[in-house]
């Protein structure tokens, strides 16, 4: 055999190392895809988005945006109440 050909032991070690890396990758992917973890990531993302939408970069409350959101909620609730009262008649 020439010096450029890897030994059988070296090949077996390489295959074993690759198998271990593949197993870790599969475990990591399974962990990422677990529904509980997906929900947790989405929940954190929603919290961060809400915080960024309602706060200035220095942490102050954006009262104009909060007031608009509150007005929208009140409007939707009022429409639901009016709609339900009309359906009774």
3-state secondary structure at position 5: coil
Is 22 a domain residue? yes
Is 1 a domain residue? no
pLDDT band at residue 81 using 50, 70 and 90 as cut-offs:
very high
Give pTM, 2 decimals: 0.54
50 and 66 assigned to the same domain? no
**Is pLDDT of 18 > 80?**
yes
Residue 86, pLDDT score: 82
Residue 89, pLDDT score: 61
Q: What is the mean pLDDT of the segment spanning 11-24?
A: 97
37-73: per-residue pLDDT in tens? 999 999 999 999 999 999 999 999 999 999 999 999 9
- Scored b (16 or more CB within 10 A) or e, 27-57 reads eeeeeeeeeeeeeeeeeeeeeeeeeeeeeee
41 and 73 assigned to the same domain? no
Domain housing 19: 7-54
48 and 27 assigned to the same domain? yes
């Amino acid at each position: 055999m020439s010096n450029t050909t890897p030994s059988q032991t070296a090949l077996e070690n390489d295959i074993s190392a690759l198998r271990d890396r593949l197993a870790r990758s599969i475990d990591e992917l399974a962990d990422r895809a677990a529904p509980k973890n997906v929900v947790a990531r989405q929940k954190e993302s929603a919290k961060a988005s809400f915080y960024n939408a309602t706060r200035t970069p220095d942490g102050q409350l954006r009262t104009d945006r909060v007031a608009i959101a509150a007005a929208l909620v009140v409007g939707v609730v009022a429409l639901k109440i009016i709609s339900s009262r009309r359906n009774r008649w």
